[in-house]
Amino acid sequence: MKDILDKIKSNKEKVPVHVAIIMDGNGRWAKKNGKERIYGHQEGTKSVKEVIRASVNAGVKYLTLYAFSKENWRRPKEEVDFLMELLIRSIESELDELKSNGIRLLVIGDTDSLPEKVKDKVDNALEETKNNDTLYLIIALNYGARWEITQMTKKIAERVKKGEIYVDDIDDKMVASHLTTAGIPDPELMIRTSGEKRISNFLLWQLAYTELYFTDKFWPEFKEADFYEAILDYQKRERRFGKISEQLKQEK
Ligand code: FPP
How far is it, in rounded angstroms, from Cα 7 to Cα 14?
A: 11
Domain limits for position 11:
2-234
Q: Provide the CATH number for the domain around residue 51.
A: 3.40.1180.10
Count of domains for the chain = 1
Which one is catalytic: 3, 6, 24, 201?
A: 24
Nearest CA to ligand 1 atom 13: 67
Tell me whether residue 241 is in a domain: no
Strands, E assignment, the chain? 18-22, 62-69, 103-108, 135-143, 189-192, 211-214
Q: Which residues line ligand 1 (CB under 6 A)?
A: 23-28, 41, 44-45, 48, 65, 67, 72, 83, 86-87, 90, 139, 194, 219
How far is it, in rounded angstroms, from Cα 129 to Cα 101?
A: 10
- Beta strand pairing status for 62-69 and 18-22? parallel
Give mean pLDDT, residues 138-163. 98
Tell me the whole-structure pTM to 2 decimals: 0.95
pLDDT tens digits along 170-204:
999 999 999 999 999 999 999 999 999 999 999 99
Question: How confident is the prediction for the chain on average, in pLDDT?
Answer: 97
User: Is 131's pLDDT higher than 90?
Assistant: yes
Tell me whether residue 77 is in a domain: yes
Distance of alpha carbon 173 from the chain centroid:
21
